Structure formats: C-alpha cells, structure tokens
Structure 1
Amino acid sequence: MWKVLPLLAALFAVAACASPQAATPAATQTTSLQRNAESLQAKLRRSPQDASAWAQLGTTHVELARVTFDPQHHSRADKALTESLRLRPDGNGEAFIGRGALANAQHDFAAAREWGLRAAAALPDSASAQGVLVDALTQLGDDAGASVALQRMLDLRPGVASFSRAAYHFELHGRMDDARGAWERALESASSPDEVAFCRLHLDELEGRADKSLETSRGLVSKVPSPEHLVQYGEALDRAGKSAEARVQYDLALQQLRALGGDDLTAALIAADHGDPVEALRFAEKEWAKRQSVFTADALAWALHVNKRSAEALPYSDRAVALGWRDPDVLRHREAILGALR
C-alpha cells in the first residue's frame, strides 16, 4: 500500500528511484491514438452494440483533442460516449470516466466531479475514475478532496498517471524537490516511448520555469505547442526584443483557446499581460464564477491589479499562495500587487 497523503513525501521513502492532465509530445502519441481509434471503429462496425468499445472510442477522442488541439475530437467523443450510455445507461463506469474526462477537458469541472463520483461508485477499483476526480477537485479548489482521490489513485495504480498527478499536487504546495522526485518516479514507471517522452518533457518543463531562456522555451513549444508553452515562448521573445514574433505566439495561443473553448483562465492571463485589461477581468470573473481554485484566484488578482484595483486584488492573491504554491509568475503578480499598496 502506498501511503502518500497527507505527507506526500512518503512516496519517495518506499524506494530510491517517476494534465492535469498534461500534453505529451504530439507526433508519436497522435499516431498511437489514431490507430487505437481506427481499431475501435473497425470493431464497432462488426459489433455496433458494444457499449464498452463506444466508451473507449469516446475516451480516445478526448485524448486526441488534447494532443492535437482539434476541437472536432470533442464532438466525436461526445457522440461515442452518448451512444455507449444509450446502450448501457446504468453502471457504465467506462462511459462515466469518458464523460468526466471530456468535462474536465472542456473546463466544466463541476460536471466532471459528478461523472467522476459516478465512475468511482460503478468502478471502485478504477484508478482512472480517481484521476477524473483528482483533476476536477483540484480545479474546483477542493484540495482536501483532491488529496483523498490522489491517495486512492496511488494505492490502486502507482504508475505514470498517478505519479504525474502527485507531482502536480506537490508543486501546488510549493514542494518543488518532491515534484521533481515524483516526475522521476513517473519516468521509472514509464512502459512506452510515449510515456517516457511525456515524463522527460515535464521534467524539462519544471527546469524551464527557472530557465526562462529563449532556447528552452522554443524547445518546449517544438515538443508541445500548447497555449501555455506558446505564451512562455512569446514572453522569452519579448525579453529578447522580438516583440512582433512574440505577438504571433500570443495570437496562436488565443486561437487555440477559442478553438477548444472553455479556458477563460489562460485567456485572462494572456489578456492581462499582453492585451486588454478590461477583457482580462471579464475572462477572470467568468472563470471564478465556475471554480474557486488557486489558479483562478491568481488570475482574478492579476486582472484586478492591471485594472488598477490592487486593494481588491490582494485577498485573491492571498488565496492563490495559501497552499504554498510558489510559481514564479504567481509570485511576480503578488509582488506587483503588494508594491502598488505600499
């Protein structure tokens, strides 16, 4: 049994050794997922009443949307999962997991929590069901609930998916050495080239947050052109005096966010730093109405600050660091807010 919470450092005492849902290097995983989708489609042509295969196809399309940033996969996932639940509406844990994963991907975290609870009830020994809950509860600001679900996930399956979530949990609590150790454990648990690349990427990303160089940021974008990496690259270009190239990266990030829909949090941060402060506050307030996590607290604090409302921003900044989160950008936001109030 893995006893990781509440003191997650115990994770590393058992042996010396490695997305939120997070992106993997897209090329190889996209190929693997597409092959899986084609195989499932062929199976369903032979057995269209197979509720399990429909659920697996839906979950595969959720993953394809994540690595390709193509929103069409969300609608395909929805259709497949709907068919699975039509065929087996009760006790269909696989479809509940897929629905939860889709809701998390679309940032409907309240719905994801409910699907996760249904999945865990139907499949109490499923680590994937607990993963849906970890992701949803973290984003909803339920740190205690997320910790319980994470512990259960680690107990059920101490592998890449659970160790990577443990790393994220460590990071939110300001325990960067433990986060790095969790990624190393995830890397040692990796059983495929895709999983190895996934873990190495995130170890590089963890170091990249301290190393803000243009080369490091460009490397992350080349591996995974996610909105977050595009913004990081744009900021590195800005620091290098390449403002026109930086603007291209910010615009690409916003295009991705609009295409996939639902991520007003990242849009708020981009607008606050590189766009319209009023729009930033609108995005941040909209996201705060849906979830009161440390992430949204920071985004709302920063949006209020850039709108010259620093006194209102401070309580949200306090909340953003309450767990121990010490992300450099969060600390930069906080120092600016405190400085404006001195």
Structure 2
Amino acid sequence: MDGMEIRLRRRRGRARRLVIASVAGAAVLGGVLVLPWERGTAPRPAPGPAARAGGAIGAGLPAALPGLAVLIGEREAHLRAHPLDARAWAVLGAAHVEHGRRTADPAHFPKAAKALRTSLRLGSRQDPATLEWLAALAVARRDFPAARTWGEAAARRAPKRWTAQAVLVEAYTGLGDHKGVGRALDRLLELRPGPAGSARAAAVYRDRGWREDAAARISDAAAAAGAPVERAAYLEQAGRLALERGDREPALRFFREALRADPDQRAAQAGQGRALAALGRTSEALAAYRAALARQPRPEWALELGELYESLRLGQGARVQYDLLRERVRGAAAAGVDEELVLGRFEADHGDARAALRRLDAEWRRQPGTAVADALGWALHRLGRDEEALGYAVRATDGDRGGGVRSASYIYHRGAIERALGRYGAARRHLAEALRIDPYFSPLHAPRCERALAALGEPSVEDPPAR
C-alpha cells in the first residue's frame, strides 16, 4: 500500500468519526432528528395565553382576561402537586390581583392575599415582586396606607425596579402626598421611560392640571404599546382625559378603539356611556352603561347610570342602580375593599347626608386624597355646614394645596358652596369655570350648575371681589 492510499484511508476514517460524533450530539424533537447545525433555525412556538398573562403581570402591564383565567388554573393545578413552591404562590396571587382589578370582582382579593402571604411564609419574604403585588392588592382595595408600606418595602429591596415606583405613585396619590407622588414619578421615569411610564405620568399630570402634557403622554403611550390589551388600557385613559375637557366626539372614538383592541375593556364601555350621554344620545348611553355593568358591576358606574336615569325622570331605573350600588359596596366590604368614597358621594346626593359625612370624615382621617376632600366638602354643604365645607372644597381645587386637577365637578361644588355663603363673585367665577372646562360633566349636575349661574346674573359693582 503506497503512501497516497494510506493518507486517503486516514481521511475517510476521520470523516466517519466526525459524522458519528455529530449524530451523537444531535437532538430528537417530535421524532425528527435535528442535527447540531440545524438547531435554532426553527422558530420557537408562540407563548400560550397563560405565559403571555404571566409575562404581562411580571412586567407591570395589563393582562388579558382569558390568559389570566388560564394562568390561575395552571398555577392552582401546579400547587396541588407542589404546595411548597413559593414562587408559584406569588404568581397565583398576582394573577388574582390583576383579575380582580380588571373585572371588579372582589372575590379575587382574599384569594390573592392568601396566596401572596403564603409565598412570604414559604421563603420569599424578601422578594420585591411579592411585596409589590401586596402593594398592588392594597391599591385595588383602596387601602393606601398599606399600599405605601408594602411599596416602600419593595423599593428598599430593589431600588432599580420601576414597578415598585409605579405602585407608590398610586399609594401616595390616594394619601394626598403630592411630594411623594412627584418623587416616585421622577424615579419611575428614570427607570422606565417607555409607554407604561408615560401612562402613569399622564395620570399624575392630569391630577396637577397639566392637561396638554397629560394628553401628549397618553397619546405617546398608546402609540408605543405592545399588546392589544395594553393599548386598550391607554386608549381608555385617553378617552377619560378627552371627556374631562368636554371633547365628546374624540373621547367616544378613543373608547370605541379601546374596545376594538380589547373587548373586555369594560371601563371603555362605561366611558362610551358617559360620552354618549354628553352628546345627548341617551338611548345609546343607557345601553352602553347596562352592557358594562352586566360584566363589571362597579359601584361608581351604577351611580353614574342612576344619575342619568334620574336626569331623564326615570325614577324606577335610578332606584335599581342605587340598589345595585349598595349591594356591590356590601360585597366589596366583605372582601376587604374600601368603597366608602363612592358610597359617601352617593349618600350625600341621594341618601343620608349625615351617614355620608360620617363615612367621609373617617375616610379623610385615614387617607386624605383630593377626591375625598371634594366629597367631604360636598357632604358638609348638603348639611348646611358651608364654612367648614369651603375649606375642603378649596383643598380639592387649589393647585398650591394639591388640588390642581381641572375637574368640572370639583369646581362646581366649590362654586355652589360659595354661593350658599353669599360669596357671589367667587361663586360666579367658579360656576362659569366648571362649565368652560366641561359643559357636560354630569347629566344631573351640569344643568344645576347652569341654573345656579343664571340665578346669580351679571356681576354687580356691589359684589365682593372674587376669591
């Protein structure tokens, strides 16, 4: 055998060994041999609804309801076999918080609390994500002191997590801590300048009365949103902002686009009812409200629909909605949800004003936010205690004292209180301002505002200066 033949045989042997080694390193997927050089070329399977929902809540974003339901079922099944899995308990708790928040079903919140506290007990006591979700649960229950406690604990454990700052923005807002809101928002935007950060900035800017900045921020958020459910949430927020400016047709378009993106976006459906009522399309408004309440019977929507019925002199329809409101508040209280604000607002105008005052005074002592200041001032006015009422009304509408939001309803309340006190110049100015901000702010109260302003007439040289 000459040298050439020996070299050829050696080369063939090396080639055979390479093939054998390659096949040995190959993987079998679904019964098909995948060679190493083919790995990574096939597209990964798309994540299922549970994975998408888990990814959304883990990233602090809205999650689709069908995916949340699947995720809850999967985690429950997993935990039956692995009851000591702290992380699975945390995911289950977070999913219940988000499901309860999106559906207004308070039955999810005790389940969320149990799951999250079990996760803490099993070893994730220092896990910032679990602490954040306990804070988010407290926000959903309108327990802002607890939300602040859990949120601040999460922020201390993980200063770089933007989601802790997001929940602190909501907690501080509910407590009327406007400096705290500013600090948390600045930190949030430093950590998360994308659409989720823009949406939260829009809410804060709205509360400060920076309406154009708020509209620009939420427009940016909707344009940059990823999943349809996220975009729908931002469009619904854009609709609320437009409606507060009296821009009825643009608001209606935002709400409709939100529902197209996510048919489970019931807040947008209630928003449609609000916008349609402002446009005078009352039959369509009633239908939109009823559809939203059939799926998410939120007390505040029942109050809005009841007042729409009352404005149409349909007393029986109003009473049905007011009964629904009371029923939902009772159910929420049993699940640890604080609905004292909406119940106090209802009682002040349609029920027992003394009961409203007791509820709202207790709420103010616990969590003195701007919305509570407005409602408490109005309850005092309804009882004829206008000197006391004015202090709260000023707090709700004075930007230097935290009440910078351009709310037609709040400013109408202040004007009505000033009128009752004989401060006609200030009353005339604030009643007119309320109607300039949004002439359609309430089917029941906007006409009363118009009548009160008309009764004041033109300014007199004897009127005291407006304050």
Class of the TM-score when normalised by the shorter of the 2 chains? 0.7 to 0.9
TM-score for both structures, normalised by structure 1 = 0.85
The letter of the residue matching 1:264 is E
1:68 is matched with 103
Alignment pair present for 1:219 and 2:288: yes
1:258 aligns to 2:330 (yes or no): yes
Number of the residue aligned with 2:415: 335
The answer to whether structure 1 residue 165 and structure 2 residue 197 are counterparts is no
Quickly say closer, same or farther: Cα 1:290–1:176, change in 2 above 3 A. same
Which aligned pairs between 1:102-141 and structure 2 lie closer than 5 A?
102-141=137-176
| 1:308 equivalent in structure 2 | 384
Distance in 2 between the 1:199 and 1:257 partners? 27
3-state DSSP class of the match of 2:209?
coil
Q: Which amino acid aligns with 1:76?
A: K
Q: 1:80 deviation in Å?
A: 0.4
Match 2:304 to one of 205, 208, 232: 232
Per the normalisation by structure 2, the TM-score is 0.64
- Residue 189 of structure 2 aligns to which amino acid in structure 1? L
User: 1:206 and 2:262 equivalent?
Assistant: no
Q: 1:162 to 1:259 in 2, by over 3 A?
A: farther
Shift of 1:46: 4.4
Residue 338 of structure 1 aligns with an amino acid whose one-letter code is E
Matched residues in 2 for 1:75 and 1:293: separation?
25
Amino acid at match of 1:327: S
**8 Å Cα contact 1:70-1:259 kept in structure 2:** no
1:142 and 2:222 correspond: no
Matches of 2:201 and 2:291, distance apart in 1:
26
Distance 1:161-1:43 versus aligned 2 partners, 3 A rule:
farther
Q: In structure 2, how many angstroms separate the alpha carbons of the residues matched to 1:230 and 1:170? A: 28
- Structure 1 residues 245 and 159: alpha-carbon distance in aligned structure 2, compared to 1, 3 A threshold: farther
The change in CA–CA distance for 1:31 and 1:207 in structure 2 (over 3 A counts) is same
CA distance in 1, matches of 2:218, 2:289: 17
RMSD: 2.2
> Partners of 1:110 and 1:305 in 2: how far apart?
28
Which runs of no fewer than 5 residues in structure 2 stay unpaired? Answer: 1-61, 249-277, 423-467
Residue 216 of structure 1 and its aligned partner are, at CA, apart by: 4.9
Contact 2:348 2:378 in 1 (8 A): yes
Larger relative CO (CA 8 A, sep 6+): 1 or 2?
Answer: 1
1:260 shift after superposition: 1.7
Tell me the amino acid that sits aligned with residue 53 of structure 1: A
The alpha carbon displacement at 1:232 in A equals 2.3
Task: Name the stretch that deviates more: 135-144 or 189-198.
Answer: 189-198
Give the aligned residue type for 1:131. A
**Pairing partner for 2:406 from 326, 329, 334:** 326
Separation in structure 2 between the aligned mates of residue 330 and residue 67 of structure 1, nearest angstrom: 27
Q: Name the CA distance, whole Å, in 1 between partners of 2:83 and 2:97.
A: 20
Q: Does the 8 Å CA contact 1:268/1:284 hold for their aligned counterparts?
A: yes
Q: 1:331 to 1:268 in 2, by over 3 A?
A: same
Matched to 1:330, the amino acid is Y
Contact 2:340 2:359 (8 Å CA) reproduced: yes
Letter in 2 for 1:82: R
Counterpart secondary structure, 1:39: helix
1:264-296 per-position Cα deviation (integer Å, ceiling 9, x unaligned): 111111111221111111111111111112111
Query: Which residue type is aligned with residue 363 of structure 2?
Result: E
Change (3 A) 1:284 1:195: same
Secondary structure in 2 matching 1:191: coil
Q: Which residue is equivalent to 1:48?
A: 83
Cα deviation for residue 178 of structure 1 reads 2.1
Do the aligned partners of residues 81 and 155 (structure 1) sit closer, same or farther apart at CA in structure 2, a change above 3 Å counting? same
Residues 297 and 328 in structure 2, CA contact (< 8 A), matched pair in contact too: no
Structure 1 residue aligned with 2:368: 292
Unaligned runs of 5+ in 1: 1-23
Q: Which moved more, 1:241-250 or 1:57-66?
A: 241-250
**Once the two structures are superposed, what CA deviation does each residue of 1:163-214 show, in whole Å capped at 9, x if it has no partner?**
2222221111122222222221221232112122222222223333434343
Cα distance in 1, alignment partners of residues 410 and 83 from structure 2: 49
Amino acid at match of 1:248: V
How far off its partner does 1:218 sit?
5.1
